[in-house]
Amino acid sequence: MAIVLQPAQKILKPMKVLMYGPTFSGKTLSSLLLAVGIVMDKRGCTETEAWKHIILIDTEYGRGALHKHQGPYNYLRIDAPYDTDKLVTMITELNHIDQIDVIITDSLTHFWIKEGGILEQKAAKDKLGGNTYTNWLDFTAIFNKMLDSIMQSPKVILSTARAKSDTVVDTSSGKAVPKTYGLKPELREGIEYDFDIVFNIDKNSHNLIVDKGIPGMAPVFDIATPELGKHLYDLFNADAILPVRTETDIMNTIRQLSVSNNLITFIQLKLSGRKLDVLTMDELIQLEADMLAEIKRVQPKK
């Protein structure tokens, strides 16, 4: 096959952000404020309107609803056991709700270390015997499935995580003052490499320290605001072009949705004995639209 050289192009993609810090560092509120700015920029709407296009998925025992006075954001709650499939299912369904522009997952740490999370499932399998190292293979795949659902989502997703913390006594001011530092996300090692932007939030100042950024970003921001959300969204999408969907892209979407939403029979009836790969582009687009309409139609009954 002959290689054809072509200039690099930046493809427009939904931004994925990870925000981690110690307890009470302001991860949830920071995510909400950034989300407001992102929606305002994306839709050209007012701050009041922007809240309606944000959804927060809360694993923090209901604490995600404490900021409801900020604005009318949408809210879902996940309780123990923290099975990653719960989050995957929610994101898959939210992907097809046009009203939602930004999904906040608050926090991913629960799916790692809390009841029913990856580490607890791994420990239970280890007790049954076998090689503790190879036992990781199954749970790496499970965790990757959750991470893939975030990365492949067409929505902007802001994820939070608790930090592995250390408290030291700071005497720089002449007084002994305890300070808490968030060392790294309390998640699988190296997860920050999967996100576009990673913030470490300082507990005392609520500054957003950039662990991983994009060209043009400052190394630290004073505090999260809707204006910062707008700035990040503009910076991330600068010079990007819309991706062109191919017939293969649409067929893959149809196959994925038919399995995840139990619509295989629905698709078979629509195809009437034909195969996906014989449909024209217009027919594939129509079939995808029919499937999305069916997902929305049955959603209240789930």
Q: Return averaged pLDDT per consecutive 10 residues of the chain, 302 residues in all.
A: 81 92 92 98 96 97 94 96 95 94 96 94 88 86 94 96 71 61 81 94 89 91 96 90 81 84 88 91 90 70 40
pLDDT at 302: 38
Give this prediction's pTM: 0.80
Q: Domain 16-237 is of which CATH architecture?
A: 3-Layer(aba) Sandwich (3.40)
Q: What's the rounded Cα separation, in Å, for the pair 116 and 81?
A: 4
Q: Where are the domains of the chain?
A: 16-237, 247-301
Q: Could you tell me if 94 and 55 are in contact, meaning their C-beta atoms sit under 8 angstroms apart?
A: yes
Question: Per-residue pLDDT tens for 160-173?
Answer: 999 876 555 566 56
pLDDT at 1: 67
Q: What's the rounded Cα separation, in Å, for the pair 22 and 184?
A: 10
CA 97 to chain centre: 15
pLDDT at 9: 77
Per-residue burial over 246-282, b if 16 or more Cβ lie within 10 Å, else e, is: eeeebbebbeebbeebebeebbeebeeeeebeebeee
pLDDT at 295: 73
pLDDT at 301: 41
pLDDT at 184: 84
**Contacts of 68 by beta carbon, 8 Å cutoff, 6+ apart:** 75
